[in-house]
Structure 1
Amino acid sequence: MNRNLEELLIEQKNIKVIDSSIDYKDYVALDLSATHTDQLDLNLTDALIFEEFVENHLSNNKAKVAFGGYLETRNLYRRSEVFKNEITDERNIHIGLDLWIKAGTSVLAALDGKIHSFQNNTALGDYGPAIILEHTIDNLTFYTLYGHLSLDSLDGKSVGQIVKKGNQIATLGAAPINGDYAPHLHFQIIKDMQGKKGDYPGVCSKKEVDFYTRNCPNPNFLLKIK
């Protein structure tokens, strides 16, 4: 019987997608859900204030990386027409995992694979520079997306270029290059790219959430951050 992707992801071990010297015990959860951020006197539209908020959260918890956000409903995207316009429903449900740490931090390939595509997504609130890798394990092909990178991360890249698990493929970008966010990595697993290249939705509407939950399984099946 063929295994599904979720089972395959759970079997993988020792996966890191940022600075491998940082142990998972030095990670702390970060709640950016609308119900939580609405209670805070925090201007989510100002990247510098947002970065200070993240740094304070790390300091208060004696941590080096903040993580979270899969299937989190957020108000973070309301400032950008990328996520809502006259035609589309509001997209505010996050379908990747965010890892919050300083700009310049190394970004690593989760698994052996090759570069599927890459692109600088320049709209306010978008990924900024992003790289998508293609992986095949036991005849099952899937993709990992790395968003909010530095512009230099796209230098020297080519479609089909081979990457190895744990090798540095990029560094984290700063605002406004990264879409104008506090520095972080958006990491996402995708079963079917639906013909897209260099970009794939990282946020969906309530109407779409069933599809995207199936097509983009929880990245923590792979990372296993506790």
Structure 2
Amino acid sequence: MLLPFNFQTDPYVVLDFSASNSDLATDRRPGLDLIDTATFTAYVFDKLKTAGANVGVGGYNEHRVIYRRSEHFNALNEEPREIHLGIDFWAEAGTAVFAPMAGIVHSFQDNAHFGDYGPTIILEHRDTAGNQLYSLYGHLTRQSLQGLYAGKVFNIGEKIGEIGPYPENGDWPPHLHFQLMTDMLGLKGDFPGVCSLADRQKFLAICPNPNKLLRIANLP
């Protein structure tokens, strides 16, 4: 269990943040003001309310337009990063986050930039063959980082932290970014959650689809 929702019985809605969503602004049309986090948040939670759901999900390998709101994904002289590498779970701030697998703390930090992860925890896991897998939990509360240290053990189902509010969570509508990595590329406390089109295959090769673990219907 990653969150306190049963995706076999509880209602949820799949949210699309690609250019195919006509609510979102593109180069060819006006749309929702994503830079204003309060407006963005109201949009997300209105979608949940309309669907009668407590959580919205989706985004793995999605070519998104929402990252155009932040310079964090649009560095000068670099290709924009718009390919999402994890699954997002849009839910109320304060929602508990649990370890879906047993593991230890690899690293953690507050990535405190507009549009970044905010408070982030990365766990390290090993299977019976000794293969390593890492899981990233982004947009948490700052309190979630308290008491952590490298090597701290989390058993399966143990609470890791909570979904953070904005602006504490990197200034996003409250949600959890959940991502798997087979290689940390030497990084600690952070890992790209979004890549450029040019780097898409490189990062998808080391960031497997989290839904193969979670098995949520109606997601790829």
Partner of 2:79: 89
Q: For 1:83-162, what aligned pairs fall within 5 Å after superposition?
A: 83-138=73-128, 139-162=130-153
Residue identity matched to 1:205: S
Give 1:40 deviation, angstroms: 7.5
Partner of 1:168: 159
Partner of 1:55: 45
1:33 aligns with 2:18: yes
Contact 2:12 2:51 in 1 (8 A): no
How far apart, CA to CA, are the structure 1 residues paired with 2:74 and 2:46?
30
Give 1:85 deviation, angstroms: 1.6
Between stretches 95-104 and 29-38, larger displacement belongs to: 29-38
1:23 aligns with 2:10: no
Between stretches 158-167 and 71-80, larger displacement belongs to: 71-80
Between stretches 101-110 and 76-85, larger displacement belongs to: 76-85
Residue identity matched to 2:110: N
Contact 2:195 2:203 in 1 (8 A): yes
Which of 16, 25, 46 is the equivalent residue of 2:36?
46
Which of 180, 193, 197 is the equivalent residue of 1:206?
197
Residue identity matched to 2:39: I
State TM-score, norm by structure 2.
0.92
Give 1:79 deviation, angstroms: 2.5
Give 1:35 deviation, angstroms: 2.5
Aligned length: 209
Give 1:81 deviation, angstroms: 2.0
Gapped regions of structure 2 (runs ≥ 5): none
1:79 aligns with 2:69: yes
How far apart, CA to CA, are the structure 2 residues paired with 1:53 and 1:40?
15
Give 1:155 deviation, angstroms: 0.4
Secondary structure at 1:77 match in 2:
helix
Give 1:28 deviation, angstroms: 1.5
Aligned-residue sequence identity (percent) comes to 45
Give 1:41 deviation, angstroms: 3.2
Partner of 1:10: none
Residues 158-212 of structure 1, C-alpha deviation per residue, up to 9 Å, x if partnerless?
1000001111110011111111100000000000001000000000000000011
Residue identity matched to 1:92: E
CA RMSD of aligned residues (A): 1.2
Partner of 1:220: 211
Contact 1:45 1:76 in 2 (8 A): no
Residue identity matched to 1:33: S
State TM-score, norm by structure 1.
0.89
How far apart, CA to CA, are the structure 2 residues paired with 1:98 and 1:86?
27
Residue identity matched to 1:224: R
Residues 48-67 of structure 1, C-alpha deviation per residue, up to 9 Å, x if partnerless?
11111111111111111100
How far apart, CA to CA, are the structure 1 residues paired with 2:84 and 2:107?
22
Residue identity matched to 1:207: A
Gapped regions of structure 1 (runs ≥ 5): 1-15
Give 1:34 deviation, angstroms: 2.2
Contact 2:121 2:138 in 1 (8 A): yes
Contact 1:27 1:67 in 2 (8 A): yes
How far apart, CA to CA, are the structure 2 residues paired with 1:89 and 1:61?
36
